[in-house]
Amino acid sequence: MKLSLRTKTAYGIMSIADQCLYFLFGTFFLFFATTVVGLAPTVAGFIAAFGAIWDSVCSALIGRISDNVRSNFGKRRIFIMLSAIPMGIFTVLLFTKISGSESIKNIYYFVVTLLFWTGFSSFFIPLLAWGAELSEDYNERVKLRGFAYAGNTLGMAIGAVLPSILVEKFEMLGSDVCRAWQLTAALIAAIVVTVLIVGSAAINSKGEFAEDNSGYKDGVLKSFATLKRLMPFNCLVVAAVTYLIANTIFVADRLYYYTYNMGLSGTQISILMAVEPFAGFIFLPILSALSKKYDKRTQFVVGMGICGAMMIVLHIASVNDFLSAALMLMAFGLGAVCYWQMMPAMFYDICELDELVNGIQRQGAIVSFQAIAESTSEAFGLLMLGQMLKYSKFDGAVHIQSTLTLDWLKNAFTLIPGVFMIISAIMVYRYPITEKVFDEILESLNKKRNGEPDVDTSRVFKICRIRGK
């Protein structure tokens, strides 16, 4: 099914929201919590990590529920529209400094973080699942993800770049640092609410009224048990986990690295933060052009492999000036494009394989496991960084850190993410669903949907290494 420009554009507009919030939290929450609020690094790391774990729980539940919703507003659209305004409120509360004892502050940010990730799951999982339902065409899904990544890139710029600029500007206008962060969060929240409501209202598709799955009663654990029989699914889950560990550590650490290792000003940091989304806009049309010749797997493996190798090389060479930092972000931007454009599209292709093997349409459940992998890895990454800060005796009250602290901030910025990205590329290399294989899956599936008896699936099962039946 070919998608209209309006549908792809609207989907791309909504995709601004998830990366905007993801990078806002990933880039600034630990920094805000440790340097503005004054939380201990281990406590802030624990809160952020537990929030990500909570996101996993919510993702599984939302995916399961949205698969079975029947509504005049569509089973995905209704979640997106209802979650938009609460999501905006939780974003502002997250970057609001409160007064009170250390315990009260810890409880407040713990609760608000849980609310933030509940709201995030409520729109993100339906948004991902909606993409799988809009088209079953292998290449059309890549195009849709291209529009999504264009939105992601803009969201990345808003979430990772804009806060540094706005906080500094609000302070120049007379606001204290606490008020400056709150106003910044409010502006970003307004953007998120707007794009979710406008984008979801603009899509008019038959896909949102997908087949009635009222007979689908599997719980989260049973769904996972059946899905893990699909070797391609396992490859993608591990690849998602390893990349997102790299992404989380890099994104959360870089503000520390720019501030303490490089001694950059707020303006310089803002310029550097803009390099990654700029890289996205450069690499996106290149990958879109290459998609005519190379499949999703090949593009992911090559792009992520280059990204990981560059980060390891730059660790050895050292990132100690503006140019090398910009080069690092260009490399990271290539990996980000490969992941956010190709990974969801590959998970979409699992939906048809799952239906062929298990006879169930459960796009929401499948993409929720992608989100679960991402949030779990985010939790692990934040815990790792929190422990690195603790081990290296990071002190948010001083401007000059110890040599040990600076060394570990460097490791978290270069070497560790690079190694995890290489592992992610290796796992996708083992992923067997090429365009040709997907066409075979879809052909067999359509025969089954049309009631043809004795459909031969042996070749597909062998290629995809389906375990059990």
The answer as to whether 214 is a domain residue is no
The answer as to whether 137 is a domain residue is yes
CA 82/CA 380 separation, integer angstroms: 30
pLDDT of the residue at 138:
78
**Cα three-residue angle 15-178-30, rounded to 5 degrees:** 55
Q: State yes or no: pLDDT of 127 exceeds 80.
A: yes
The answer as to whether 209 is a domain residue is no
Average pLDDT score over residue span 112-123: 94
pLDDT of the residue at 208:
44
The answer as to whether 469 is a domain residue is no
The answer as to whether 67 is a domain residue is yes
* Greater model confidence, 371 or 422: 422
Average pLDDT score over residue span 297-317: 91
What are the residues whose beta carbons fall under 8 Å from the beta carbon of 252, sequence distance 6 or more? 26, 27, 30, 48, 381, 382, 385
Q: State yes or no: pLDDT of 411 exceeds 50.
A: yes
Q: Domain of 400?
A: 5-204+219-464
The answer as to whether 383 is a domain residue is yes
- Residue in the structure block whose two tokens are 């654990």: 221
If one counts the domains in the chain, the total is 1
Its pTM stands at: 0.75
Q: State yes or no: pLDDT of 391 exceeds 70.
A: yes
CA 429/CA 431 separation, integer angstroms: 5
* Greater model confidence, 416 or 323: 416
The CATH number for 263's domain is: 1.20.1250.20
CA 369/CA 56 separation, integer angstroms: 8
The answer as to whether 258 is a domain residue is yes
178-236: pLDDT as tens digits: 999 999 999 999 999 999 999 998 987 544 444 444 444 556 667 777 888 889 999 99
**Cα three-residue angle 380-384-389, rounded to 5 degrees:** 150
The answer as to whether 74 is a domain residue is yes
